[in-house]
Structure 1
């Protein structure tokens, strides 16, 4: 290979490395639901499909209040403790608080409550459980007010988000978009067309792939999260360029130096 051919080869290497280094990404690749039109009605799955079904091992917050102060103390022992309302709230918004003050559904699927006894709740959505406990309470108490919430509704968000971690939810319905918002959104290198949701199942783990750039994501079960789901936001190919930027810079610098040397040798 003569000097001219070497010179040409080095030029091509430097051009290719430069293109890789400065390869840019379009902002359109980070737009959610980009196929949605103005005033368009988006189709979504019904609550009966997306609502979480209570299972043995779930932990529930149960509040039963009536005109009887002694009954209130029995069902709501945390209310007797000397603390601010903020600390009272904190008892149920931490794993430790949920474990200590919540009611765990036993292996038979029953919710064990003082006076009311065992209430079969496994296999039911949370909204029905509140009505069921209300019926049990009405049989023993006068003008009782019942509230039931799921306490162990946590999801784990990893990958190309600004604040990965474990997040807790206290609504009956919870979507991937809400989870990403809790993690302060995705990074500039996120591939929103390939969001993976891993859901624990009795027979193993079920993987669901979501394309959040399309409004069709609303019609997928994985879009509506369940307790203990894992959300993985994978990086796109542009992140490889960023991670290898130093190596590309060295290639360009070396090629430039060689070109200069061969230029002097002519």
Structure 2
């Protein structure tokens, strides 16, 4: 009888261990890569974001004309308030107030230069378009164009969920997870969901970051206003309820001991 109770107890402990254990390999990105392997990447025409109506652009045009500089670069006169000048374009409020919005027809309205059609073009090409227009009105102009509303929302099993801004020409899923300080121990990297706004609704894309093929997905390169969800693994519920399971285990052990004493 004692051997039977002992077997039951050991089986119960092993069952708990089985459900609570997790292989660290399950949290490794791109598990199927090998040393010095060259991963194929999608062409820029696929990964580079095409500006749409409603996007907000930073446009700087500098020339030998001080009046033109004042029109396009109002922050230049704020040298004594450098912090406030920096904040103008690095906060959502500043971008909205001081950036140039692409109107519903896809045009950018700029002082002196007027309406310039830009929608459907990547940021780099828009810079060239504005440069060509500026060259018609001023000499030796230097044009710089940046997208100000390049933000993504990262939620789920990451250490610091939130909204993150990007100021580079591209933004990958790994960059976004890095900004969120990586995933938690409960993350299931096989189940990453990206929700992307489209003209006709929201597009849902599933990714498995344990597989190098995810690098070839269109969703690996994030677009403005994308949502990234890192799903929890199957062990999370057990971990969250581990105290309750420990209490049950303790109670079960006491009952076995009392039962053995009575017998």
Name the TM-score, length of structure 2 as normaliser.
0.94
Check the 8 A contact 1:13/1:255 in 2, yes or no: no
* Cα separation, 2, equivalents of 1:57 and 1:18: 53
Aligned-pair Cα RMSD in Å? 2.0
**1:1-266 aligned within 5 A:** 7=5, 11=9, 14-15=12-13, 18-19=16-17, 23-81=20-78, 83-266=80-263
Check the 8 A contact 1:62/1:102 in 2, yes or no: yes
SS of residue paired to 1:119:
strand
Unpaired stretches in structure 1, ≥5 consecutive residues: none
Name the TM-score, length of structure 1 as normaliser.
0.93
Per the TM alignment, residue 204 of structure 1 is displaced from its structure 2 partner at its CA by 1.1
Q: How many residues align?
A: 263
* Cα separation, 2, equivalents of 1:19 and 1:26: 12
More contact order relative to length (CA 8 Å, sep ≥ 6) = 1
SS of residue paired to 2:153:
strand
Check the 8 A contact 1:10/1:259 in 2, yes or no: no
Unpaired stretches in structure 2, ≥5 consecutive residues: none
* Cα separation, 2, equivalents of 1:258 and 1:125: 70
Measured against aligned partners, the alpha-carbon deviations of 1:143-185 in whole angstroms (never above 9, x if no partner) come to 0000000000000000111100000001111000000000111
SS of residue paired to 2:116:
strand
Shifted more, 136-145 versus 181-190: the winner is 181-190
SS of residue paired to 1:262:
helix
SS of residue paired to 2:42:
coil
Check the 8 A contact 1:17/1:251 in 2, yes or no: no
* Cα separation, 2, equivalents of 1:19 and 1:210: 30
* Cα separation, 2, equivalents of 1:127 and 1:83: 32
